[in-house]
């Protein structure tokens, strides 16, 4: 019985890791505008699958203001966007 429980727990941990990876799927985009004062960035992006949004240009908040120092208008980026406190927020950039 203990081995069944261990197998079940291992399967659940594997599934949760897979869902976590899906939530952090990177999307390609181009930076249109950086607004350091408002801590926002405008990005023309491909489909945001994790947010079920089609490709478009939109304004995002950033999780950390230091992210804006790495961004320039016209720059191609890959990023992760999520809803944080109901606001669309860039949480990662590579």
Q: What CATH number is given to the structural domain containing 84?
A: 2.40.50.320
The total domain count for the chain is: 1
Is position 8 within any domain? no
Average pLDDT over residues 36-58: 97
Return the pLDDT at 78.
97
Residue 91 CB coordination number (10 Å): 17
Residue 18 lies in a domain: no
Domain encompassing residue 48: 26-93
Does 10 reside within a domain? Answer: no
Q: At a CB cut-off of 8 Å and minimum separation 6, what does 32 contact?
A: 42, 43, 44, 57, 73
- Is 68 within the bounds of a domain? yes
Nearest 5 degrees, angle CA 59-CA 62-CA 63? 150
pTM: 0.75
pLDDT of residue 63: 96
12 domain residue, yes or no:
no
**CA-to-CA dists, residue 44 to 16, 20, 30, 51, angstroms:** 31, 25, 5, 15
Residue 73 lies in a domain: yes
């Amino acid at each position: 019985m203990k081995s069944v429980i261990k197998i079940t727990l291992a399967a659940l941990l594997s599934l949760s890791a897979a869902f976590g990876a899906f939530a952090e799927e990177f999307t390609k985009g181009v930076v249109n505008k950086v607004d350091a004062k408002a801590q926002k960035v405008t990005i023309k992006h491909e489909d945001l699958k994790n947010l079920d949004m089609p490709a478009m240009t939109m304004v995002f908040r950033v999780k950390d203001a230091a992210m804006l120092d790495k961004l320039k208008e016209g720059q191609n980026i890959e990023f992760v966007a999520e809803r944080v406190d109901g606001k669309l927020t860039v949480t990662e950039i590579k």
